[in-house]
Structure 1
Amino acid sequence: MKSVKLHRQLSRLVINSLVFLLLFSLNLSAQEGDVANGEKLFKSTCAACHRLDKKLVGPALKGITDKREQDWLISWIKDSPGMIKSGDKLAIQVFEENNKLPMTPNPQLSDQDIIDILAYTKGEPAAPKAELVSQEIDPAVERGKKVFKTNCVACHKLDKKLIGPALFKIGEKREAEWLKLWIKDNAALVASGDKLAKEVANSTPIAMTAFPQLSDQDIEDLLKYFEVGDVKKVTANATSTSVDNQEIFNNPRTGVWTSLGLTILAFILLSLIVAATTNKKVIEGEEKEDSMLKSMFLSPFLRFLALVFFLLGGAYLTFGYFMQVGVDTGYQPIQPIAFSHAVHAGDNKIDCQYCHSSAKNSKTSGIPSVNVCMNCHKSISEYNGELFGEYSKADLDGEIQKIYDAVGWDKENLQYIEDYEQKPIEWVRIHNLADFAYYNHSQHVNVAGLKCQKCHGPVEEMHEVKQFSKLTMGWCINCHKTTEVDMKNNDYYKNIHEQLSKKYGIEKVTVAQMGGQECGKCHY
């Protein structure tokens, strides 16, 4: 009987130890914050209201983990209104300290996502970045560059003809004093009978604008800029550590394998403990000892434990595999033209709806026609920004040429080619919902006032756009459950809100409570 009791106590001890070690291993791996992923999530989720180093709408978040417990921060970020309603003293204190401005809940974020964001708020860099080192520039050249951009770029380029001739090293072809007179009032110079002025005026189809407002110093600075041109920035690597090695340690999936490895080790360790404590048996009053390996195979408890372990593990892996079918997060096809959203929407601040104009009044956002591209690229035939990817300047100039080839534009004569057979650019679709799911861009852009980044992520930072969000039904419903309806200047919603607020006993109504969770809204 003592032996039976001992085995029961041992079994309970082993089960408790296994559960503890499993939870510990999962928790240990979850504590590993991915700073790079945290930075992306911070920019897409938190940057509208927070900065790291200074107060915006909400408080500065740098070093927040030194002030608040991690578990509390996870709960607060996921559902701050719920914590306030539950009576959490710290939640109420934070709410009152920030002028009772409600923080948007983020139930779509996993615990690991929030841990990554908190790792980013510590202010530690994810990876050393390349430093830009520039040559010393004469202040006069910089002033001349500003004069050129303000007055000349509509008709001139430095290194090639636009409407007027290329101006780089123009001082080697014309005398400085003549150039000053020509720039200030070329018409008066022609009228004075100057032969060179007449020759230049006759060689250009459009008369040059006079600039009497420019001082002699302005023109001297301009001529210095023509002599030097643009000083290119040189990229210097701040470290010799390879990016590939850094990505290995910044990969969020590393935590999953760590959890699996620690769990297997815990199982092996407990198997050895059980085998070591049950390898003795009594035969005819004598105690004999079996080998530890034989005890592991013969132990009913260990065999049951192994069966449960493999069944649960197999079910978890199978379920996880099938749940990813049709989820194309990260899908990034090769496009026919290397169009960079980071250059257009990021560097040049082009509004998303300038190109995707139908997003505000149509079901789809639309793909811009080549004519929309030509609104800018009639006068932008080359790339002069910072290089990205593995492209050279010649490569990117060739990508712009693909637009001209599609529409039939002669960049030398600045006109369309007559009787040219235009060809559409065959862009590859990235975001594609199932046919049985209805989605209307105008409803979300106009009525809800959502920014494009809410679903598509920080496209202004992407050179090659990829699918940022899951776009699954659960992802949409979670958004509807947490997004509050804006009732300002809307009598229709105001009346419904008064009825629903009484029905649900709440102050603000979410999209889901307004009908955004009904099956027929998306599956009609």
Structure 2
Amino acid sequence: MISWRKHYKRGLIAIGLLLSTSASIYAQGDAKNGEKLFKANCTACHALDKQLVGPALGGIVDKVKSEQNLDTDWLHKWIKDNKALRASGDKYANEIFEKFNKTEMTAFPNLTDQEIDDILEYTTNPPAPEPAADAAANGADTNSITSIEAQKRESMNSKIILISLMSIGGLLLWLLFKLRQLVKLQQTDELVGLNATRATSFGDIYNKYQNVGKGILVLLGIFAAYGLWNSLMWIGVYKGYKPEQPIYFSHKIHAGENKIDCQLCHSSAKYGKVSEIPSMNVCMNCHRNIAEYNGKYMEPGKDKAFYDGEIQKIYAATGWDPASQQYTGKTQPVEWTRIHNMPDFVYFNHAQHVVAGETAIINSYNKKNPDAKIDVVCKACHGQVDTMNVVQMANDFTMGWCIECHRTTEVDMNNGYNKEYFKNLHEKLKKQYGSGAKITVDAIGGLECGKCHY
């Protein structure tokens, strides 16, 4: 009896030790700190609930333990230097490398053991969302409902006001009709005779004041001709034009919030005549690893689900399967609507402005617009693109607009391109305008017809 109790007691102790050892796998890290470290180091390639470049990491500790009988020490080695672990001949490490298209995971030798434990704890027991976030969401819903109710009340008030105005208008017309009847009843014979001599038609008025009428007709003809001429002059001017695109692309998020350089996407603007529309492969350079929107900025009326849906359109266009992390070969053309399009008879070279004229254009623009200075030459023509959710044509792009720029933009004589290309011209300009004179673009041929027209 004593022996049975002794073995029973030992069994309970062993089970307790086993459970405590198992539990320690999940309780040795700080999940909140692990969440910060995970977002800073891992989210480019991993998510908890789905495969990206690498596998889903939710419950990875338990998975490695149950499927491969490996503990957290193996995970520490893999995270710190997976290449060395594969080189040592580790079977599971090499299996993972082969499975994910031999994509080598970034090594993190700088992470301490405790920090790795924090990350693993986060993958096992991710902390619940902060109540404040839920409260904010509920507040947003409440605000949305309140806004809808306010709109309904405003609509009802507008209808009441409209009906009231129509009623008042009807009453005034009725009163006018009654007053007219009273006036007719009280007219004397003298008034009747006087009315007979008055003009009662447009023809009578014209015959009486025909000289004035002819003058008015001439003025109307002049105004009509001016209006026609003015409308013809604005054909092809589309300032403010901002068409809806097949895939929603916010320049405010990309160029504004994330500070992406314009020329990263529009690479030919610097060395080419045309700044082309980037191919979808350029989008995939980033969005191969960014499958959902987690930014703080939200355009009014749009939410995370909207942005995530637009990213899925990129995947559909390029034939990218985020689950397998491979291209399917089934692509769909994207019919972008072009916004800036110079006429065929106009020659415009982006490289000439972006390279040779960059400093001169930026300095000239900032002098003329001290309250809206620019830091990128692109903004001088295309406006503050980094603040636009939907890109629009920011300027007129007329011939007069270009000429005005050439007349007021001072040439950067210290520019290496100008110094070499206009080497002999510089001496001539110094003699013509004086050594200290400001030389603008028109002085170096900026107003010659052949510069811009074939």
Secondary structure of the corresponding residue to residue 329 of structure 1: coil
Is it true that 1:426 corresponds to 2:318 in the alignment?
Answer: no
Cα gap change, 1:150/1:442 in structure 2, threshold over 3 Å: closer, same or farther?
same
Count of residues paired in the alignment: 327
Segment drifting more, 422-431 vs 480-489:
422-431
Separation of aligned partners in 2, 1:389 and 1:320:
37
Cα gap change, 1:484/1:212 in structure 2, threshold over 3 Å: closer, same or farther?
closer
Cα gap change, 1:222/1:494 in structure 2, threshold over 3 Å: closer, same or farther?
farther
Q: CA deviation at 1:453?
A: 1.1
Secondary structure of the corresponding residue to residue 427 of structure 2: helix
Residues 364 and 441, structure 1, Cα contact 8 Å, conserved in 2 = yes
Secondary structure of the corresponding residue to residue 238 of structure 2: coil
Q: CA deviation at 1:381?
A: 1.6
Secondary structure of the corresponding residue to residue 517 of structure 1: coil
User: Which of the two has greater helix per residue?
Assistant: 2
Separation of aligned partners in 1, 2:424 and 2:31:
64
1:102-501 matches, within 5 Å, as 143-167=33-57, 184-185=76-77, 204-205=96-97, 213-214=111-112, 216=114, 219-220=117-118, 223=121, 226-228=126-128, 306=216, 310-311=220-221, 313-385=223-295, 386-388=297-299, 390-417=301-328, 420-449=329-358, 451-490=377-416, 491-492=419-420, 493=422, 495-501=424-430
CA deviation vs aligned residue, 1:342-374 (integer Å, no higher than 9, x gap) = 222122211111111111111111122222111
1:520 equivalent in structure 2: 450
Cα gap change, 1:307/1:187 in structure 2, threshold over 3 Å: closer, same or farther?
closer
Separation of aligned partners in 2, 1:307 and 1:332:
40
Residues 33 and 118, structure 2, Cα contact 8 Å, conserved in 1 = no
1:283 equivalent in structure 2: none
5+ residue gaps, structure 2: 1-29, 81-89, 155-196, 362-376
Q: CA deviation at 1:222?
A: 7.5
Separation of aligned partners in 2, 1:333 and 1:210:
45
Separation of aligned partners in 2, 1:187 and 1:497:
62
Cα gap change, 1:199/1:358 in structure 2, threshold over 3 Å: closer, same or farther?
closer
Separation of aligned partners in 1, 2:301 and 2:290:
21
Separation of aligned partners in 2, 1:393 and 1:155:
20
- Over the matched positions of the two proteins, sequence identity in percent amounts to 46
Separation of aligned partners in 1, 2:243 and 2:274:
20
CA deviation vs aligned residue, 1:90-142 (integer Å, no higher than 9, x gap) = xxxxxxxxxxxxxxxxxxxxxxxxxxxxxxxxxxxxxxxxxxxxxxxxxx877
Counterpart code for 2:264: Y
5+ residue gaps, structure 1: 1-139, 189-197, 246-289
Cα gap change, 1:463/1:370 in structure 2, threshold over 3 Å: closer, same or farther?
same
Counterpart code for 2:245: Q
Segment drifting more, 207-216 vs 334-343:
207-216
Counterpart code for 1:504: Y
Cα gap change, 1:494/1:486 in structure 2, threshold over 3 Å: closer, same or farther?
farther
Decide which structure has the larger Cα Rg and report it. Answer: 2
2:190 equivalent in structure 1: none
2:6 equivalent in structure 1: none
CA deviation vs aligned residue, 1:162-199 (integer Å, no higher than 9, x gap) = 24444568799999xx99756544689xxxxxxxxx99
Q: CA deviation at 1:479?
A: 0.6
Separation of aligned partners in 1, 2:335 and 2:38:
38
Separation of aligned partners in 2, 1:397 and 1:299:
71
Cα gap change, 1:482/1:470 in structure 2, threshold over 3 Å: closer, same or farther?
same
TM-score of the superposed pair, with normalisation by structure 2: 0.59
Counterpart code for 1:515: G
Residues 251 and 388, structure 2, Cα contact 8 Å, conserved in 1 = yes
Separation of aligned partners in 2, 1:210 and 1:362:
40
CA deviation vs aligned residue, 1:48-68 (integer Å, no higher than 9, x gap) = xxxxxxxxxxxxxxxxxxxxx
Cα gap change, 1:210/1:371 in structure 2, threshold over 3 Å: closer, same or farther?
closer
Separation of aligned partners in 2, 1:361 and 1:456:
18
Q: CA deviation at 1:445?
A: 0.9
Separation of aligned partners in 2, 1:440 and 1:213:
49
